[in-house]
Amino acid sequence: MTASAPPYELVIGLEVHVELATRSKMFCGCAARWFGAPPNTLTCPVCLGLPGALPVPNRRAIELSIQAGIALRCDTPPHTKFDRKNYMYPDLPKGYQISQFDLPLSVKGWLDVPGDGGGDKRVGIRRAHLEEDTARMVHGSEGGEQYSLLDFNRSGVPLLEIVSEPDLRSSAEALAYLERLREILVYAGVSEFRLEEGGGRFDTNVSIRFSEDGETRWPPQSEIKNLNSYRALEDAVPYEADRLWREWQAGGALRTRRGKITVGWSESRRATFLQRSKEEIEDYRYFPEPDLVALEPSVETVAALRAALPEMPADRRDRFARQYGLSAYDARILVADRAIADWYEAAVAAAPSRPKQVANWVTGELLRHLKERSVDLRDLTVRPSQLGTLVELVASGEISGKTAKDVLTRMWESGADPAEIVRARGLGQLSDEASLASAVDAVLAENPKAVADYVAGNQRALGALVGKVQSKLGGRANPAVVNRMLLEKVA
Ligand code: ADP
Ligand code: MG
Ligand code: ZN
């Protein structure tokens, strides 16, 4: 981070590729979850690109792609198709990738992300198209010899490419965009967005805009290919922007450049390196995939897919704040995980007038329990309605907040109902004066000095007396009632 603002405006557009959450690959029945599988065990003639093998499109992948588009407020054109994108590379056994060229599944959407200016910023989504992932290359060396190995497990995994407009103005905005995109795709069940398992990568387009001699200059962008972590983006973007600026000032090729270049990012050298300049950028000779028919999602299909989408996270956060009176912070924590948000709402259903208290228990005790015990929410013994009941027991004064925590500890262990635990263990709070009177009287008799201190104006002495009543009754006394009784008797 530089302290002073750079002398140019940064312009960023992202092409995000994510693997879809399907069981099988895009055009064959091989398993799509390749991460961790022994190399070349998830293959068949189709995804190995053997001659004569024919693709059969994965319906689920198409549905998920359409849903992703809808969630990103895109239009779903009535007529789309697959195309062949031709290039030669060892990770592409057919010599072409099946992708979508001029008629993608989704066009013209948008996404609101927290912008640098404070408020939300609307980022345009140019298009989202469906394609297949390539094989994985593993490079190494042995005895001075370099080698490359190919693992075809990833070959043919459904891949969605989401192309933004160049609306982002900083790495922070680009990261916020990725974060919001991830959230939406995960929420919609479209992708698990497992970057750490190689399930996604982004081509990051960077250009700089500035004025010189009274004119606006906006030389062509660099496309940083295949970044695979937020961290890499955070490092590569400012590096490339600065490099473009320095090149411009040094009178370099950027001044005469006619089109974009593609660069790679070297993690070890912490620098970009040139891959292809405009002149060398391939002509992919796209043409319609002759082995597949055109794809024409019906209005009914699109409507059904739209109806099947869950409420999106930003909408849900707004609703949580509105409907339950939660802080933006609580809404964010709860909504961050769809299953937690569902669990919370089920708990509120059992304590409808206490949404705030339920939120406190969920964001506090529940999340801590899940984290500390590495428990999956699905394996939890406690049902949401039981937490709702527990909250009601506290609200009605039946048990204290402190007792409730003990009860919850037992609930985690046994899955028993809170009321049942309170009854079986005699944990109910003592609120009626008759059951508190003898302890209150005894404490007053045993502590004349504290009583005198209080009468002399020492407020703290009263608290001490309440504490002594509590210790006589094992902490079960209702403190408000004890307080009131003490005041009445001392006065
Ligand atoms: P294509 O690759 O189809 O020729 P573009 O290069 O215009 O299309 O766009 C590809 C990606 O580059 C998009 O995500 C777009 O937002 C981004 N992009 C286009 N122009 C710029 C620019 N001047 N600066 C930064 N990003 C850009
Ligand atoms: Mg691309
Ligand atoms: Zn296969």
Separation of CA 14 and ligand 2 centre (Å) = 9
Q: Which residues of 470-485 are buried (b: 16+ CB within 10 A; e: fewer)?
A: bebbeebbbbebbbeb
Q: What is the mean pLDDT of residues 331-336?
A: 96
**pLDDT value of position 3:** 57
Q: Which numbered ligand comes closest to the C-alpha of 43?
A: 3
CA distance 157 to 433: 70
Other CB atoms within 10 Å distance of the CB of residue 312: 18
Q: What is the mean pLDDT of residues 145-151?
A: 96
Q: What is the mean pLDDT of residues 290-298?
A: 95
Q: What's the mean per-residue pLDDT of the chain?
A: 94
Closest atom of ligand 1 to CA, residue 260: 6
Structure tokens at 12: 């960023």
Q: What is the mean pLDDT of residues 436-444?
A: 90
C-alpha angle 53-58-60 in degrees, rounded to nearest 5? 170
Q: Which of 2-11, 74-83, 360-369, 441-450 has the lowest mean pLDDT?
A: 2-11
pTM of the prediction?
0.85
**H or E, element range at 452:** helix 448-455
Are the beta carbons of 296 and 78 closer than 8 angstroms? yes
Separation of CA 365 and ligand 3 centre (Å) = 46
Closest atom of ligand 1 to CA, residue 13: 16
Please name the amino acid found at residue 365: E
Q: Which of 87-91, 184-188, 275-279, 336-340 has the lowest mean pLDDT?
A: 275-279
Separation of CA 47 and ligand 3 centre (Å) = 4
Ligand 1 binding pocket includes 13 (Cβ within 6 Å): yes
On the question of pLDDT at 1 being above 70, the answer is no
Ligand 1 binding pocket includes 165 (Cβ within 6 Å): yes
Separation of CA 225 and ligand 1 centre (Å) = 12
Are the beta carbons of 96 and 161 closer than 8 angstroms? no
Q: Name the residue with tokens 């939120």.
A: 359
Q: Which of 195-209, 229-243, 299-313, 470-484 has the lowest mean pLDDT?
A: 470-484
Are the beta carbons of 284 and 85 closer than 8 angstroms? yes
Ligand 1 binding pocket includes 15 (Cβ within 6 Å): yes
Ligand 1 binding pocket includes 192 (Cβ within 6 Å): no
DSSP-derived letter for residue 78 is: S
Short-list 379, 375, 425, CA closest to 404: 425
Q: Name the residue with tokens 């970057």.
A: 195
Ligand 1 binding pocket includes 164 (Cβ within 6 Å): yes
The 3-state secondary structure of 282-332 reads CCCCCEECCCCCCECCCHHHHHHHHHHCCCCHHHHHHHHHHHHCCCHHHHH
CA distance 446 to 52: 96
**H or E, element range at 204:** strand 200-212
Are the beta carbons of 114 and 120 closer than 8 angstroms? yes
Structure tokens at 419: 């009321």
Ligand 1 binding pocket includes 207 (Cβ within 6 Å): yes
On the question of pLDDT at 369 being above 70, the answer is yes
- pLDDT tens readout for residues 122-137: 999 999 999 999 999 9
Measuring from atom 6 of ligand 1, which residue has the nearest CA? 260
Separation of CA 19 and ligand 2 centre (Å) = 14
Measuring from atom 13 of ligand 1, which residue has the nearest CA? 13
CA distance 77 to 79: 5
Residues 6+ apart with CB under 8 A from 199: 18, 19, 35, 191, 192, 193
Q: Which numbered ligand comes closest to the C-alpha of 167?
A: 1
- Pairing verdict, β 200-212 and 83-86: unpaired
Separation of CA 69 and ligand 1 centre (Å) = 19
On the question of pLDDT at 163 being above 90, the answer is yes
Q: Name the residue with tokens 């910023």.
A: 121
Sheet holding 96-99, edge to edge: 96-99, 83-86, 287-288
- Give me the DSSP letters along 252-295: -GGGT--S-EEEEEETTTTEEEEEE-GGGS-----EE-TTS--B
Collapsing DSSP to helix, strand or coil, 465 comes out as: helix
In which band, very low, low, confident or very high, does the pLDDT at 60 lie, cut at 50, 70 and 90? very high
CA distance 232 to 342: 34
Mutation to probe ligand 1, out of 102, 224, 240, 260 (largest number of atoms < 8 A from CB): 260
Structure tokens at 411: 């609930």
**H or E, element range at 355:** helix 355-361
Distance from the Cα of residue 236 to its chain's centroid: 22
Closest atom of ligand 1 to CA, residue 12: 25
Q: Which numbered ligand comes closest to the C-alpha of 127?
A: 1
Measuring from atom 20 of ligand 1, which residue has the nearest CA? 166
**pLDDT value of position 68:** 98
Are the beta carbons of 340 and 334 closer than 8 angstroms? yes
